[in-house]
Chain A
Amino acid sequence: MNGQTQAVKNYLTAFEIIEKQNKNLHPEREKAIQAFAEAGFPDKKNEAWRFTDLSRLLDVDFIPGRPAELNREIKAEIEPYLFTQWKGAQLVFVDGFFSETFSRIPVSPEAVQISTQLSETNTNHTETIPQEDLPKAENAFTLLNTALTRTGVSIRIKKNTNALPIHILSIQTNRAEFSFSMPKNRIHLESGSSLQMIETFVATGETVYFTNAITTIQLDENSRCDYYKMQNESRKANHISGLKAVQERNSVFRAHTLDFGGGLARNNLKAVLNGEGAETVLNGLYLGRGNQHIENHTVIEHAAAHCNSSELFQGILADSSRGVFSGMIHVHRDAQKTDARQSNNCLLLSEEAKIDSKPQLEIYADDVQCSHGATVGQLNEEEIFYLRSRGIGKETARHILTYAFAEKIIEHIDIPELKERAETFFRNKLGEKLHLNK
């Protein structure tokens, strides 16, 4: 059993290794690792981490990953995850390293800039996203990411450009057991531009590793970003992710997160509505089985007037899996005419499954419409009987009804390739022969 101290020491050592290998590290890394050394990992006394058992993460001394050798075997494992009819860029990372072999970057117009190697002098994100603006409770992981990141994507969509969709695919092979990867992505949509993008996290085997990913998206005036994240990591992996969107006037940010994998998976999702008329949609679907632990923590900062936000999270927990949802809506004093809605519904498929749901509203403006609701329930016995009375088996009936619950999120996926894949992941996972209660 590792304690907090040993775990912190491990990442300080990792930093030293990276420092030795790279001469010109950005000073921000040094600052970040020092701050991390002081703060350490959050424990359960920290309100935002009250339900999170980090022991699976702290118990292993994860080491920096190495680029995989792309032999024929690995290639065969990776290929099924690529979108074959994809028009836009497909940026593939294998074991945390950019793979030119699998990636495809169509000759992009000047208006779209993609750079895949975060150069060592390029980790300072303070120019667009001030460090102090990052979610505070996330500091340990955000700091670690800044200190130790070696890969990531930087995308800039120029003014009034409708970019082709971008798929960022991170694949962990089973050669990289016990390694960590800390991608840092930065997306900037200039005014009037639009982008559809997907981040996919998958593993080719059931190995233990640690992903600590950060994506920040800056949306200038009148821009629109449709963001999807599909996480199907190994069931033994630790997946911590931070997503932050900062929105200017009349921008639209629509995010869908789909969580199927991970032993411990935690998404910290934040949208900051800085300009009037901005709109945020934050939807999520998660399916827990075995002893998976899946968390979604959302923060919506309504910092300007006349903005809308809506959140819908549909969670399904089977076996002895556990889910946590916390949703903070913070309406600043000047954010009049805010319309903010939040809903978290959870379906418990077994008596051992458990959800903790915590909506939080902090409203400092007086002319606003805010609502939140949380439901926790089981499959409806009347509905099951109705299906069975027509000859549909009990197990199939349960699957049909569970899928209908998930469909409320899946139906919003506007990218056919992704929708199909999400359906497949969902159905396969639901159909696994673990014990479903009853």
Chain B
Amino acid sequence: MRVEYINPFVEAAFNVLREVLQSDVRRGELYLKSTSTPVMGVAAIVGLAGDVEGRVLFDMDRPTALQIASTMNGEELATLDDLVKATITELANMITAQAVTKLHDLGFRFDLTPPAIFTGDNMEVSNSDVEALIVPMETVHGKIEINVAIRERA
């Protein structure tokens, strides 16, 4: 993945999370991964097109998703209902959109696809021929792993 793409995603994730959660967010060590990734329970995915092809996956466990959705909505949400899913989808959209805006400013043309959300147990994402950058984010509600796989259009 091009070096120029890394920072916009890290910054966008950091800024958006800190803003919507109104609390401290800590970024873990970035690393690369190409094996299939187990999904913690709730995964929102946003596709990227344009100069590049790829996707961004936001992965967290259920309690984290519920608490983040509760904080963002300002009410206590106990079940993973449509509102929670819509909220997490929106969070994914906000972070990716802000990253893409930053990339636009740097001269890269990216388009987004509408986000989709997956929930369930024992899920796994397998596209092992694609190398993904993992950006772990520690929030007060738990860990969110942002899994960015982008490659140049050949």
User: Is chain B found bound to chain A in the same assembly?
Assistant: no
Point out residues on A near B: beta carbons under 8 Å: none
Point out residues on B near A: beta carbons under 8 Å: none
